Structure formats: structure tokens, C-alpha cells
A and B are shown apart, each in its own frame.
Chain A
């Protein structure tokens, strides 16, 4: 679960390598060379809270609007401090490069490229898991050897965003309970309305990765621990077969957009808001964005993934990006104080309709409604004994569970644009995964 779905504003690097391809490539690699890691001095996080800090953020849309307000509140609380935000458009890629260069601000969100065993190389430990767990959610997602290195700034729930007016036009008002019911519902939409039943957002790619955020449906708290131990996750009854299989079935039955190669994320928001599209698989973070994209915000609803275990829906809540204190920071006391302030007091999570990172704070309205449909929200613990193994298998096999490359191929096969069928592709995936799994877990 470590290669997590990217943030809504995080898109892949565009045009990073230039037309002199080969030398562009070498130059990009040379950038990464730099100096590896930074030593960092040993100033305590408990020093005097004063002076200036820099905070890196992926929310370029908020960097001049909402974020300075939180900074002002912090500066008012601790006179003598100065907080400046630095928006990074291509957050994952750019910050990874900055990490290897050793200059990456004072407070930042941990890029998903950093594996858990590398956390201590770049970030300050914030406390032990045992001491932070009673107070914060999602503490174990960026923890290693019992130490927490990042705190979530807000969590999201997994599920499907639907335009319920269109679903109602097709005669369905309650969330489907099985993949078969879901497919039948999409068929009904295709037959009775003009809407595209399901939109994959294939071209932008990352929305496909959200099929990886549905492990909670099996209600197995040990699933992240067991996952890297399994040489064949694409077998009937297992999670990859269920989720990727549903994607295959949707596309194979012609229930998704006609030309997946020309989809457009920004354009898809008004489409679902106005009812041109009925369904998209996304996180709860998407609800406010979809509501804002049209004139009938009440049409947008959030349903659980169509699968029940023991007659019950389970949806996982996961921390989005985790904020951390840079090991190279010259002002760790202020950085730590700001991190604590931002997570606990700023109100950022509530403003963003996210699951509050502090235990005990109320859920946002959209998620309360979601819970009221009979969904149990659960937190899936990250792997501990197998910590980091899944990442290693992903990298070695180049089956990007938390990405879109192999799922795009799945969509291509399902729509008849590439050779093979569901069984042959799943068999190939199992084979590739098993080969890397054997290398990693030996």
C-alpha cells in the first residue's frame, strides 16, 4: 500500500526530457547524482520557536489563497516566526530530486518515492508509534522501526463518486452490493440514459491507480502484511482479481468512455457534475471538487466499492500525504511546532472535507453521509515485518500497483485493442509478480 495514489493535483511530469533525448536523459540523471542525502545537524526539535521556515506543498491551487491564512495564524501564536510556502507543481518528481540534493525546505510532504527504510535518511523522527498512535490516525503509514517520520494532514476514504440522478434514472437508488449488481446498474444506465456509465480517466492515468485503494473490502486487517508474501495476487477471490477484474469487466462490456486515450481529468469534473458521466472510482477527496464543478452539487454522492464481506461494506480511510520535518532543517524547533500546529489546530483537514488526522475530531459532512449508508470505515495497518517489501516487488517487476501503466494495458486488452483476455493477462501478471516476489522475499 505504500505506492499510494497521488494527490488530485499531482500529475505526471510533462516534457521533462527534452528533444536531445539522450543527453536530456543523462542530464536528468546527473541532477539526481548531486550529493546523495544530507547529513543534517543535530539541533533538537525542542529549541526556541522563532525565525523563518519554508514549507513545501503540492497544493499549488492553495498556495496563494488558503495556506497563507494558516501561516498567519501560526505567526500570531508564535511571534517572531515567519512561514513561507513553496508550491511544487510536479511534487513527486521535483521533491525527490531536491531530496538527493539536500535542500528541501523545513517542513514538507513525504514523496512516495522514498521507501520506508529510507525515511530516517531524510526526515526527523517525530516520536514513537506507541506514543503517537493514541492521538493521531495514520501514524504507521510513514513509520519504520517503531519511529514515526510523517503525520497525515488529512485522510481520505475509498469508494465511487456517482451522479445519483443518473443512477436513479436507471432505476437504482441504493449502492450496489456486488460487482455483478454494479455491472448490471451500469448496463441499465447505458440502456436508459445518454450518460457514459463509467469514466476511467485512462489518459491521465493516476485515477486508474485508485483501484489499488480498495483492499479494505475484504475486512482483513493483516492484508498489507500478507500481500508481499503472496506470489499470485491475481487469483479468483483475491483482492487484485476482484478490483482489476471489475475494471476489466466494465471496459470489456463497453460501459466506459468510447476513446480512453483522449480522456481529460479537468474535463471529467463538469461531466460527472452535469450527468454526462455517471460513475468514477475515486477517493472522498474528489467529492468537493465534483460538487464545485456543476450547478447541481446535490446530484453528487459517494458510494462504497460494490463488494461486501459478511453482508457489510468496508471502506478504508488512508492518510493522504504525510508532513515531515526535514533532517537538513536549520530550524527544527519551529518546523516541528508548525507541523504540530498544521495537523492539530489549523483546521486544514476540515476545510478540505478530509478525515481529521487527530483522533476524536468529527468527520466531515460528506463522510458522515457516506457512513450513514451503512459503510464501516476502517484503517488498514501498514505491513510491519514485511515493511517495504511490496515496494521492492513493484519496482523489480515493474507492475505498478499504485500506478497506471499495467492497468492501462488491462483496459487495452479489455476493449480489444491489445492481444489477450482477462485470464491470460492475469496469468502473465501472476508470473511476473511471482518472479520478482521470489527475488525480493528470498
Chain B
């Protein structure tokens, strides 16, 4: 009995705030409901059929590709800095702080700051001078600008994850490697990269699910206009602008299933084996 007593608070919170809402959401997804009405008309699979047949609902996934591409840039940058700062670099704590800082900022604040940066004649144009595109106004550029903002914001998180993992690698191994004549690149290639494999694969899963469910940055900066609409913005508008809670719930369930499927495939390809550094 006693173990149950200890996990009870955690279970209660988990069930109340995660599983009950998810079950509710699945329930809504099979109904027509505007969020206010006392009656919910059963919809069968209609909402799901609409999500898959109306191209407006799934073509927004194309926008996710920009963020997906950007997340690899993000992982690379984070890995680079984490590796560099794991060695004895001058001012390393200062640089750690600088790199992690953007992640601490509120997403809304980040959106506004970058909005000013991207304005015609704004900071970015002043620095670059000459012929610059409309960073948000040109549909060919807008998604890159937004994905870039996202990289700026979330690199810090990846960085801290990688740094923590790298620092958990015992120091003797580096010493041994150095005695054997390994340079920095060799150390990265043969000690660090295999040592933090699990964190890297976790980052890739987070990158995929994150790029499918981008919301804050495009919502604040463009509101989804100019071909920057993401799946979650579309779901938000469907739920709260057009009050089709059932349809929006179906979209959220579809997103959940896609993320689960991607994770599952990823685990199949990269099984989670114990890493032994020796």
C-alpha cells in the first residue's frame, strides 16, 4: 500500500491535468461543439474526414518543414558551442549564460523584439544596409525569418542539454585520449559524440515534434498570415476564432498521433542501447 501513497500526488496531477484533458479532447473530436452550447451533437468520424480531405488543414504541415530544417541548424550550433565550452575556454561561464539567456525570455517578448528587428528600416536593415528583402513581408523569406527566430530562442535549451551530458563523461577518458595523441576533433568524434548519443536522439525527437507544433513565434509575429500558418495556429483559429471545438480537437488528436508515430519510427531506427565508454 505504502508505495501507492507516495506516487498518489504525482498520479493525481498527471491524471487530472494530462490524461483527463486528452480523453476529453478525444471525446470532443467526435462531436460538433462550439465551446458554449449545452448540447454536443455526435459527429462520428466527420471531423477526422474533414481534417484529412480539406487541403487547407493539412497543407499547413509544409510550413513545418522550415522549422524542421532549422532545428538541425539549431542542434549543430548547440552541439558546437557545448563542445567548445566543455573544454577549458576563457570566460566559459559568461558564454554559457549568453547562450542560454534567450531561452529564459518569454516567447511573446522574443516575438516583439524580432518584430522590430525585421521591420523595414529596422535594426537588421540598418546593419546590413543596401538591398534587403522584406523579412516578414516577402513570402519566400518570411518562414526563414521566423525559423531563424526560433533557432535563436531554442538553441540555449539544446546547448544546456548537450553540455550537461558532455560534462557527465568522466575526465580520465579525455586524459587517456590526450596521452594517446587524440586532438580535439578526435575527442569529439570518438568520446563526446558516442557519449551523448541518447541526448542527441532525444533532441531529434524534440525537433520533430517541436517543428510540427510551432506556435508562439509565428502567432505573435505574423498571426499566421503570409503563408506562415502552422498546424497549431490553424487549430487555434478553428477552435477559438471559428468555435469549432470538435474539429480543432480532431486536429490536435491527429497531431498527437503523428508525433507518436514519428517517435516510434525514430526508436525503431535508432534503438536505445546502453552506451559504454571504454
A residues sitting closer than 8 Å to B (CB atoms) are 12-19, 21-30, 32-33, 36-37, 93, 96, 99-100, 113-115, 118, 121-122, 202-203, 205, 258-262, 394-396, 398, 400, 403-405, 408-409, 412, 417-418
Contacts and interface: CB of A to CB of B under 8 A. Distances in A.
A264 B22 CA distance: 37
- Secondary structure dominating the interface of A: helix
B117 to A, nearest CB: 10
A27 B21 CA distance: 6
Given A22-B259, A405-B237, A37 B21 contact: no
Contacts, number: 155
Contact of A113 (B22, B24, B237, B243): B243
A258 B38 contact: no
Contact of B107 (A15, A93, A400): A15
Contacts of A23: 18, 21
B215 A21 contact: yes
B79 interface: no
The 5 closest A-B pairs by CB, nearest first: A21-B213, A261-B136, A30-B21, A259-B137, A26-B21
Interface of B: 17-18, 20-22, 24-25, 28, 34-38, 56, 106-108, 111, 115, 118-120, 122, 134, 136-139, 142, 209, 213-216, 219-227, 232, 235-245, 248-249, 252, 255-256, 259
Given A15-B107, A22-B213, A259-B120, 14 more contacts: A18-B216, A30-B17, A37-B36, A113-B34, A113-B36, A121-B36, A259-B119, A261-B136, A262-B137, A395-B242, A395-B244, A408-B226, A417-B137, A418-B226
A14 B220 contact: yes
Nearest to B230: A21
5 contacts: A15-B106, A23-B21, A26-B21, A113-B34, A398-B56
A396 B50 CA distance: 11
B137 A32 contact: no
A118 B37 CA distance: 7
A29 B246 CA distance: 10
Contacts of B22: 26
A261 B239 contact: no
Nearest to B103: A19
Contacts of B215: 17, 19, 21, 24
A417 B138 contact: yes
A30 B137 contact: no
B240 A262 contact: no
Contact of B249 (A29, A260, A394): A29
Contact of B36 (A12, A27, A96, A409): A96
Contacts of A403: 241
Nearest to B228: A261
A15 B216 contact: yes
B225 A262 contact: no
Given A17-B215, A118-B37, A259-B119, A32 B238 contact: no
Contacts of A100: 35-36
B243 A395 contact: yes
Contacts of A26: 18, 21-22, 24-25, 252
B37 A36 contact: yes
Contact of B223 (A29, A33, A203, A395): A203
B108 A14 contact: yes
Contacts of A29: 21, 24-25, 28, 239, 245, 248-249, 252
Contacts of B138: 417
Nearest to A394: B242
A93 B240 CA distance: 7
A188 B17 CA distance: 60
A409 B22 CA distance: 33
A160 B37 CA distance: 37
Nearest to B17: A27
B28 A15 contact: no
Contact of B245 (A32, A121, A262): A32
Q: Which one of B137, B138, B237 has the highest number of Cβ atoms from chain A below 10 Å of its Cβ? A: B137
A71 B142 CA distance: 48
B223 A22 contact: no
B53 to A, nearest CB: 12
Contact of B108 (A15, A33, A396): A15
Contacts of A400: 241-242
Contacts of A15: 106-108, 111, 216, 219-220
Contacts of B28: 29
Given A29-B239, A93-B240, A258 B134 contact: yes
Contact of A36 (B38, B118, B209): B38
B136 A259 contact: yes
A28 B56 CA distance: 23
Given A114-B36, A118-B37, A262-B136, A17 B232 contact: yes
A262 B115 contact: yes
Contacts of A418: 139, 226-227
Nearest to A24: B215
A27 B16 CA distance: 10
Contact of B225 (A17, A122, A395, A408): A408
